[in-house]
Chain A
Amino acid sequence: MAQDAFQGVPLRSALGRVRGKGSARGGTHHWFMQRVTSVALLPLMLWFTLSVATLAGASHAETVAWIGRPVNALLLLASIALAFHHTAAGLQVILEDYLHKEWPRLVAILLAKGACWLAAIAAAFAVLRIAI
């Protein structure tokens, strides 16, 4: 498919080709969203790491009480969504870099994305079950 795109007279300008924006105008979207999620995750991860550190050795009741506090539940849900988006994006880039055959690459990326989706939903479900 990529070969065919170069056959014959190119109908797109060199600038358009370099920008990589097709009809969806999404050339840098994946890359950009990885940066956006990373900026959002900075304060969330500081909060999460330090909070969880204070939960070391906590009993089940103490842990559930902490997760169930509305502010903590809200920030946990935000962290889960952003962290798994960021992870899925990162894993995809790694798989794209190291898997050169199209089918294994496609299957691996879909599996990684599916696993991230399921894990994120499971984590959010657990938080909601405790908090609500």
Chain B
Amino acid sequence: MIGRRTDGTPIRRPLSPHLQVYDMAQMTSATSIASRITGVIWTVGLLILVWWLLAAAAGPRAYATVSWFLSSWLGVLGLFGLTAAAWYHTLNGVRHLAYDAGFGFDIPTTYKTGRAVIIGTAVATILTWIIALTAWA
């Protein structure tokens, strides 16, 4: 890649590894890109939230439509995925805040916290759905 030095003169810089040669199954890169993907999924979740709020404000008929969709198998599946994505984005977000503050960047810690985020996501998602299904029943 042709880059620029701080004084503006051009310089040939090394390229970072492309997707073709980079092992994306590593804990470091996998948890990183998953954070971004779950963030995008959250965007979809927010749109569902807007739909839910607008329907609640519009009245019982509009609300019946949104609850029909959300309680259908597709809706439940979507909400379950959304819950997992939300917990992952939240827990990994805490991990990233620690990174930003300068902690946990060494490889052993990164793997440990990465594993903790994945296990935490599974546990929190199941707990959330236990609460939801208890309320639903």
**A residues lining the B interface (CB < 8 Å):** 5-7, 10, 14, 17-18, 35, 38-39, 42, 45-46, 49-50, 53-58, 60-61, 63-64, 67, 76, 83-84, 87, 90-91, 94, 119, 122-123, 125-127, 129-130
A interface, by DSSP: helix, strand, loop or mixed? helix
Expressed in whole angstroms, the minimum distance between the Cβ of A132 and any Cβ of chain B is 11
B interface, by DSSP: helix, strand, loop or mixed? helix
Expressed in whole angstroms, the minimum distance between the Cβ of A11 and any Cβ of chain B is 11
A38 to B99, CA, bound (A): 14
Interface size class, chain B? 35 or more
Tally of contacts, chain A with chain B, CB under 8 A: 97
Q: Is the CB of A119 within 8 A of B46?
A: yes
**B residues lining the A interface (CB < 8 Å):** 4, 6-8, 36, 39-40, 42-43, 46-47, 49-50, 53-54, 56-57, 59-60, 63-64, 67, 71, 83, 86-87, 90, 93-94, 97, 100, 128-129, 131-133, 135-137
A102 to B54, CA, bound (A): 35
A126 to B86, CA, bound (A): 23
Q: Is the CB of B46 within 8 A of A83?
A: yes
